[in-house]
């Protein structure tokens, strides 16, 4: 169940594992057989992420004779074959192969604790399985929170929508809400419906967010989940970043001041950007982190209000509340969010 930080992370990992290489693509499940056939044999470029969407360009090997390095392709480039993936609620990537060990060098932490659980690389390969490179120790939380599994064995299953194999790695995708081939023009069409992404944080994005949010009359808590206003935050960042900036999710969006929206944008930029590296969301400020860290319920050491219904707010002591907002569980503190 990924929020935007995980998708950016997947983009980095996929680029590090496959960028510049020709890939063998297949759809063991069969539901992406046509798309996989289009990708098969193409050379992977640098993956782009925008909000919760992944856009990954592939180029024919002939137009890549130059070789060397990872092809960087502008979002929407008409020359590329674009793989578009949206994980929805249950989508997951699994990786294996020697390249996974090199992710550390690329600045990507695959397990939350550096140097933990490393094992010797063995590339099996017969009968379609690939052996472990790094054990999923999971560090402190023990959870692959970013929907990545680094498995001891990567056998295909009846639900493997897409399998990619390159010289250094194998990646398998299960359960995506969207997995399709798009033209460059279609990529731009998808992006046109998305608001600014705090992880991209491009020129003018903050003001675009502020203006977009102020225009709405729905509750602020709904605006933060509206991907047309801001692309990337999900239920956790919605709850906790509103808490961090002291904004009540119940307040009508057009009644929140511009300066508070600027603070919220900056906070989303800070939290989400930082979590791309670890893949683990940690939104509770360090001074409020429980000490010692409780056993058995890692969420308590990571979130301030998310999944903390009925507990006292770590900042003001009021009891955290929960209600259903537009079909999603909303958590907030009635004491310090106004």
Partner DNA sequence: CTCTGATGGCTAC
Partner DNA sequence: TAGCCCTCAGAGT
Residue 149-168 contact track with DNA, rule CB under 7 A, x = bound: --------x-x-x-------
d(CA 10, CA 208): 26
Query: Minimal CA–CA distance to 271: which of 313, 301, 309, 242?
Result: 242
Note whether 6 binds DNA by CB under 7 A: yes
Note whether 283 binds DNA by CB under 7 A: no
218 token code pair: 């729905």
Q: At what angle do helices 235-244 and 258-278 cross, to 10 degrees?
A: 130
Of the pair 24, 177, the CB lying nearest DNA is at 177
Identify the residue among 28, 35, 51, 219 touching DNA (CB under 7 A): 51
Identify the residue among 174, 245, 248, 283 touching DNA (CB under 7 A): 174
Note whether 248 binds DNA by CB under 7 A: no
Of the pair 22, 54, the CB lying nearest DNA is at 54
Of the pair 80, 330, the CB lying nearest DNA is at 330
Note whether 327 binds DNA by CB under 7 A: yes
Q: Which 211-240 positions form the footprint of DNA (CB under 7 A)?
A: 225, 227, 234-236
Of the pair 43, 308, the CB lying nearest DNA is at 308
Q: Which stretch binds DNA (CB under 7 A): 33-41, 86-94, 203-211, 283-291?
A: 86-94
Q: Where are the alpha helices (DSSP H) in 19-93?
A: 33-39
Specify whether the CB–CB gap between 261 and 213 falls below 8 A: yes
Specify whether the CB–CB gap between 214 and 195 falls below 8 A: no
d(CA 44, CA 42): 7
d(CA 68, CA 160): 31
d(CA 68, CA 113): 32
Instruction: Specify the pairing of strand 43-44 against strand 53-59.
Output: antiparallel
**Site residues (vs DNA, CB under 7 A):** 1-3, 6, 29, 31, 51-52, 86, 88-92, 143, 145, 157, 159, 161, 174-177, 193, 225, 227, 234-236, 281, 307, 326-329
């Amino acid at each position: 169940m990924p929020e935007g930080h995980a998708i950016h992370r997947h983009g980095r990992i996929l680029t590090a594992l496959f960028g510049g290489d020709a890939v063998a693509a297949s759809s063991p499940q069969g539901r992406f057989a046509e798309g996989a056939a289009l990708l098969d044999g193409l050379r992977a470029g640098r993956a782009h992420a925008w909000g919760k969407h992944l856009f990954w360009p592939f180029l024919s090997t002939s137009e890549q004779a130059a070789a060397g390095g990872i092809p960087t392709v502008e979002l929407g480039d008409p020359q590329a074959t674009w793989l578009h993936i949206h994980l929805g609620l249950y989508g997951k990537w699994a990786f294996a192969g020697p390249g996974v060990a090199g992710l550390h060098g690329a600045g990507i932490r695959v397990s939350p604790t550096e140097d933990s659980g490393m094992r010797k690389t063995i590339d099996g390969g017969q009968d379609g399985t690939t052996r472990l490179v790094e054990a999923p120790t999971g560090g402190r939380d023990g959870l692959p929170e970013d929907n990545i599994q680094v498995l001891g064995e990567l056998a295909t299953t009846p639900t493997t929508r897409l399998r990619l194999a390159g010289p250094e790695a194998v990646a398998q995708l299960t359960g995506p809400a969207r997995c399709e081939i798009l033209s460059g023009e279609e990529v731009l069409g998808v992006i046109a419906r998305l608001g600014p992404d705090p992880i991209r944080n491009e020129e003018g994005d903050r003001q675009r967010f502020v203006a977009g949010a102020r225009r709405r009359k729905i509750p602020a808590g709904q605006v933060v989940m509206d991907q047309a206003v801001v692309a990337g935050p999900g239920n956790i960042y919605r709850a906790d970043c509103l808490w961090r900036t002291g904004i009540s999710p119940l307040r009508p969006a057009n009644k929140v001041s511009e300066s508070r929206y600027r603070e919220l944008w900056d906070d989303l930029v800070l939290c989400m950007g930082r979590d791309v590296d670890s893949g683990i969301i940690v939104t509770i400020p360090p001074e409020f982190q429980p000490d010692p860290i409780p056993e058995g319920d890692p969420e308590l050491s990571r979130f301030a209000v998310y999944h903390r219904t009925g507990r006292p707010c770590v900042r003001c002591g009021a009891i955290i509340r929960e209600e259903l907002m537009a079909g999603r569980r909303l958590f907030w503190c009635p004491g310090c969010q106004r």
